[in-house]
Structure formats: C-alpha cells, structure tokens
Amino acid sequence: MKCKKVLSLVVLFGFTLSILSYAPKVTDLLANSEHLYAKIKIFTSVLETIQRSYIEEKESDELLEDALKGVISNLDPHTVFLPADDFKSWNQSFEGYTGIGISFEILRGVVTVMSVMKSSPAEEAGIFAGDKITQINGTSSLGLTKEEAAEQFNGSLGQPVSLTIKSKRWAAPKKIQLIRERILLNSIPYSMMIRPGVGYIAINRFTSTTSRELEDALETLERKGMRSLILDLRGNSGGYLNAAVEVTDKFIPGGNSIVSTRGRLSSSFQEFYSTDEGTHKLRPLIILIDHGSASASEIVAGAIQDLDRGLIAGKTTFGKGLVQSQYRFHDGSALLITTAKYYTPSGRPIQRDFAGKSKDDYYREPYLENSQTQTESSHAKPFKTRLGRIVYGAGGIKPDVQIDTKNNVLSHQVRALYFSEERYFYLFAEILAKKYPHLKRNQTNFINNFIITDRIYYDFAQFIKANNPAFHHATLNTPKNREDAKFLIKRDLAYLLWGNDARFKVNMKRDRQLNVALKHFHEANTLLSMTNF
C-alpha cells in the first residue's frame, strides 16, 4: 500500500513540475522523454527500497519533502521549499495570523506578556507588557511550553479565549474574555521626532500594510514640524516588492524609475515608476542600512541612491537582488522560487555572487569583518547616479557614508545571557521597577541621568548566580561586558516602565550609526538641492 502511495506522489511531483515550469519545452520533455521517465522510475524504486529495507521506518511524505529539497538544493540560495508548518510560520510575518495580539515568554514557568499589538483584542481588553497569564480557558497555564500556549491563544477567527490575568495594577487576578481577530504585525516599530525638526522612522519588514503605516507616520511627523528624516532599514531583510515600490514612491516625484525586474519568462520583465499621488514634500533624507538590510530594503536604498534623492549611511547591505514568486500547494506547503533579478534605476544588479559557496558560507559572508563584497571589489562594474556619482553593482548597496559599529557589538558571553530562555535581564528589571517605583515619574530624567551603579550591577550578578549556580561572575567582569550589561539592564527597565519608545531612546544613546548619520544632513540637503526632479 505504501509503495503505491509513493508512486502516485512521484507522478504528482512530476506533474507539479510541469505546471510550475510554464514552459512548453519542459511540458514536452515530461510527455515525451523516455530518459526522464526512466529516471523517475529509478527515483520511485529508491523510495520504495528505503521504505521496505532501511533500518528505520520512514514516512513517504517525509521522504518526498526531503526529495523536493534536494531538487532545489543546487539552485540559488533563496529558492526554497517550505513544508506547511514552516510556511505558515514564515508567512505570519507578512500576512498576519488569527489570535489575540500578544507576544509572550515563559518566565519561571509563567506565561508572561512581553508586548501587546496596537488595536488588538489584548490591547482593547487592557492587557499590558509584564502581565502574567495564570489560566487559559479555565485551565492553569503553569508548565505550558511556548508552543502549547501559542496554540491556545491563536485559532479560529471570531472564537473566544478566556484568560486569567495577574497584574501589579490589580489587587487580585482578573478574568478576561477575548475574541480572536486577524492580527497584522506592524512593520514600523518606531516613529518619532528624535531632535527638533528631525524625524525618525524604522521599518523592519515590507508587508501589505507598510505603505499605509508609513503614510500615517509621515503625516504625524509632518504635523510635529519635521524638516528632515532618517529612514532606518537596518536589519530589514525584505518582504513584498510592491511594498518597497510604494515606500520609495513617497519620497520621489512621479515619472522616475524605481526598480525593474528581468527573468527568463516574458512576464518577469517589469518596470516600476514613481507616481505623484503618494509623494510627500521633498525633505533632506538619510537612509540607514547594514549587513542585515536585504531585498526590498535594497530596492528602496538603491533607488534613493541612484536618483540622488538622499544619503545612504551605515554598512554595505546583504546583496539579495533576486525576486521570489510563491507557489502554494493544497497541503499548505509552498515553493518560493526565484523567477527574476531586480535592477536599480541606473541598471545595476544587487545580487551578490553565490557560485561555489555553501549556503552557510553565503549567508555568513556579509557579516565577516574581513570579507569583501563584489560592490567593494576593484573588479565591480561601475554605474552612474543621476548626478553622475559612481556606484557599483552585484554586491549589495554600498553606503555613501560608511559607519563602523564595532564598539556596539555584544560579546558572546553577554549575548548568550541576554537571549537565554531564563531572560535574566528582563526579570531583574522587574525587580528594579518594584524596588524603585519613583523612576516612573520622569522618563526624560531616567533616560538622560539614571545610572546602573556598580552596586546594582553586583546585585544583578548575584541574581543570576542564585538562579543559575553554574554562572561565573567573571563572565561579566571585563570593563566592556560590564558596560554592555548595565546598558541592557537599563534598556529593559525603560521598556518595562514606559514601553517601546523609551527602550529606543535608551538604545539611541549608544547607537553610533544613528548618531553619526545625524551629522550628515548637510550632505543630504546638498544632494536634494542639486537634483532636478
């Protein structure tokens, strides 16, 4: 019975390939090539033999998923087959999910709210970061894994979820009933005035809602007197191409090329131009990028740089200039397949060379201190911006202003402590918030003047030791590690007291890229004055 299932799945696999190809030549091959069918027959026999004779029993679905991954393993690094669960998880970042709108961690066995989405059922019910969820649908949440708790929070649209919440705001736990809604993850975590006249907007992904979120953010900052803007795309690994086009369109007058795509099929040849409808008043613009800025982020940065619309600052981007198309299947799995390359307005490609590299080496390469991208190579092909400045292709976007961030990098020991499941920094910040309630009175004073003293730092080390006997104080006892640990304690404390914006303001104090970029607005203004749109 299993052998017949394997054979039928293999035939379906071959049929799926013919559909995906959209090329008559491939369809002809599937229909007529005896060689191809001979290979498929061998493939079927291999699967059948594995199921019958291998030392461990293997499910046919599992074997075929591995086979699918093998088919694409020698293609480019960004073509990938995602099983149903993996695709669902990946897709949530761009299309959302059905739930109550919280992020949470399991701290000391208790489900603890870490953040609450704006306009979500959780926010409307009055749930805040730091609240403890002791029961879900009348059953104790103690001892649940993160995956088990998530399954209960998320589910069918419109269905109720009953929670018992313990909060420092209430004398006794409260029972709250929420109705699950469609939750769209915000792509703009921060939007604020960081100096008089200087606006700041961070975009962390490009989704179907990014353009609308950006429009709201720009209008708000303009009402507050924004005269120049920093658009932060650091760590933004991409998203929808259309969203990148819509974001760029807000900063460029109509009729200018933003990006073009070219591939093997005629349908992949597209040119995207700016419009006048969404364009805001032209102001000096600086875009922050780093090695984690990729794909859609590089479309935005590349267009702004090629058209001399703004200044690009930071570090060279990742170098992903390939367009993936989604093919979804009835079982919930999906194929993300590269169908085109994209090119900036000057005609330069962005994709970094991946030939002869393992996937691990390819993804690691941009972050190596001594690596040299094609963009930085003397062999890179030059292109010209609108004003005639020289830029290079095939290796990401090289910034106009290079800004080093070595001093901001956390050591391995501090990073391991901060991101450990025990969440030592957050839990210790809870202790400090309870111990020093007066801190909440003045956010500005806290950000500018509050210091994590050596005594507080010593208490922190003792706190970790009490919860982890294997911890050695020497781990944090170098000057750099002490400084980093104190900074992270203060940052988590700011988040507990006031939320995301306060955490950002603490972070900004030692954000070298951002602070150096702020000194270059005269160059951004010069570019704007020279460009004739």
Domains of the chain: 2-73 (no CATH), 97-183 (2.30.42.10), 190-402 (3.90.226.10), 408-498 (no CATH)
Q: Which long-range contacts (CB under 8 A, 24 or more apart) does 442-448 make?
A: 443/494, 443/497, 443/498, 443/502, 443/505, 446/494, 446/497, 446/502, 447/494, 447/502, 447/505, 447/506, 447/509
Q: What is the pLDDT of residue 377?
A: 56
Catalytic residue among 228, 297, 308, 320: 320
Q: What is the pLDDT of residue 21?
A: 41
Q: Distance (Å, rounded) from C-alpha 448 to C-alpha 119?
A: 31
SS (H, E, C) 284-334: CEEEEECCCCCCHHHHHHHHHHHCCCCEEEECCCCCCCEEEEEEECCCCCE
Hey, what are 341's tokens? 């390359």
* 20-37 residues labelled b (16+ CB within 10 A) or e (exposed): eeeeeeeeebeeeeeeee
Q: Does residue 295 have an active-site annotation?
A: yes
pLDDT per position as a tens digit, 64-83: 888 888 889 889 999 999 98
Q: What is the pLDDT of residue 369?
A: 63
Q: What is the pLDDT of residue 67?
A: 87
Closest Cα to residue 109, out of 130, 134, 138, 139?
134
Summary mean pLDDT of the chain: 89
Q: What is the pLDDT of residue 31?
A: 53
Largest interatomic CA distance in the chain: 80
Q: Could you give the angle at the alpha carbon of 308 between the alpha carbons of 372 and 316, nearest 5°?
A: 20
- Which residues, listed in sequence order, are joined to residue 201 by a DSSP beta bridge? 191, 231
Average pLDDT of the segment spanning 284-290: 98
Contact assessment for residue 224 and residue 193, using Cβ atoms and an 8 Å cutoff: yes
Q: What is the pLDDT of residue 11?
A: 35
Q: What is the pLDDT of residue 370?
A: 59
Q: Helix, strand, coil: what percent of the chain each, to 5? A: 45, 20, 35
Q: Distance (Å, rounded) from C-alpha 441 to C-alpha 132?
A: 24
pLDDT per position as a tens digit, 2-49: 443 343 333 333 333 434 444 455 555 445 567 778 888 888 898 889
User: Looking at residue 206, what DSSP letter applies?
Assistant: B
pTM of the model: 0.87
Q: Distance (Å, rounded) from C-alpha 219 to C-alpha 376?
A: 37
Q: What is the pLDDT of residue 15?
A: 37
Average pLDDT of the segment spanning 92-103: 91
Rounded percentage of the chain residues whose pLDDT exceeds 90? 71
pLDDT per position as a tens digit, 416-427: 899 988 899 999
Q: Which residues contact 243 (CB under 8 A, 6 or more apart)?
A: 206, 207, 208, 210, 211, 296
Q: Does residue 76 have an active-site annotation?
A: no
Catalytic residue among 293, 295, 297, 333: 295
Q: Does residue 4 have an active-site annotation?
A: no
Closest Cα to residue 91, out of 348, 345, 332?
332
Catalytic residue among 232, 249, 306, 492: 306
- Give the Å distances, CA to CA, from 197 to 88, 369, 504: 42, 35, 18
pLDDT per position as a tens digit, 295-332: 999 999 999 999 999 999 999 999 999 999 999 999 99
- Which residues, listed in sequence order, are joined to residue 113 by a DSSP beta bridge? 104
Average pLDDT of the segment spanning 180-194: 94
Tell me which H or E stretch contains 254: none
| pLDDT over 90 (residue 512) | yes
Q: Distance (Å, rounded) from C-alpha 202 to C-alpha 218?
A: 12
Contact assessment for residue 230 and residue 194, using Cβ atoms and an 8 Å cutoff: yes
- Which residues, listed in sequence order, are joined to residue 261 by a DSSP beta bridge? 270, 342
Q: What is the pLDDT of residue 25?
A: 53
pLDDT per position as a tens digit, 230-250: 999 999 999 999 999 999 999
Closest Cα to residue 423, out of 467, 454, 462, 473?
467
Q: Could you give the angle at the alpha carbon of 372 between the alpha carbons of 368 and 377, nearest 5°?
A: 170
Tell me which H or E stretch contains 27: helix 24-32
Question: Radius of gyration of the chain from Cα atoms?
Answer: 26
